[in-house]
Amino acid sequence: MENKYDGNANVRNMAKIAVNGMNINYEKAGSGSSVALCMPGAMGSALTDFGAQLKSLACPELTLVAWDPPGYGQSRPPARQFPPTFFKDDALAAAELMKTLGYDRYHVLGWSDGGNSAVILAALRPQSVTKLVIWGANAYVGDKDQELYEALRDIDKWSARMKAPMIEMYGEEYFRSTWNAWIDGISAFKDIENGVCRKETREVRCPTLVVHGAKDAMVPPEHPEYFKQHIPDARLHVFPEGKHNLHMKYADEFNKLVRDFLAE
């Protein structure tokens, strides 16, 4: 296990652990008895997606565990696959990770794809998930969503700022092929009655904070409204200027919002 310190002198541990026969990479920060699992978005990892939370949300009262799902980040091999169950597969792998690390009860913070899997995890493990925070998530795939995904398929049309971190982490060949596979995988949910997690959304029993950026170009506002209406104990908080990565650009405000919610 590698130890390092962030700017707040917060100890951060990066390690790998065997989960379901795979070596899963995770990063842990903070030392509190209250624990939260951070679930990243598509092609994301603990460090690319949750650096600002590991640095400033984790504290003596709150421990954060951020992971790289199988096939993402440093949790390779295996190569990433997108079967019809990939959101559920990530949810179950995350639950097994927390069990292996010795955590029986924990909060879950899920961004984008990680938010979808977080909803499923909360529904499948109500005895474990105590509070849920999701942003940039979607319970189904509609026509507008599919149009947005297709518009992002060709990474040659991305800005250098957007694709450089992914190419640095994965290499261009793996990133290009895996991203195309993700577009196909997420689009397939459009033809499924349950969508991504409609049924599981209604089965979440823990208090839930749904966060949305009003300028999110990836997630139309109907999705956070859907979660608010169908998760029994949910509230919605909108960042008027927030985009898809609002937890990065508005890290201080986001971290305070989450900290206050988890402390209630």
Note if 45 is an active site residue: no
List phi, psi (to 5°) of 220. -60, 150
Note if 216 is an active site residue: yes
**Identified catalytic residue from 107, 212, 244, 247:** 244
Both structure tokens of 171: 């290499």
- With a CB cutoff of 8 Å and minimum separation 6, the contacts of 11 are 3, 4, 5, 29, 31
CB 193 within 8 A of CB 220: no
CB 193 within 8 A of CB 83: no
**Identified catalytic residue from 45, 56, 75, 112:** 112
- CA 92 and chain centroid, separation: 14
Both structure tokens of 149: 């995904």
Can you tell me whether residue 22 is helix, strand or coil?
Answer: strand
Q: Give CA–CA dist 153/159, Å, rounded.
A: 13
**Identified catalytic residue from 68, 117, 216, 247:** 216
List phi, psi (to 5°) of 121. -60, -45
Greatest CA separation found in the chain? 49
Write b or e for each residue in 52-73: b if 16 or more Cβ atoms lie within 10 A of its Cβ, otherwise e. bbbbbbbbeebbbbbbbbbbbb
From first CA to last CA, the distance across the chain in angstroms is: 33
Note if 244 is an active site residue: yes
Residues with catalytic roles: 112, 216, 244
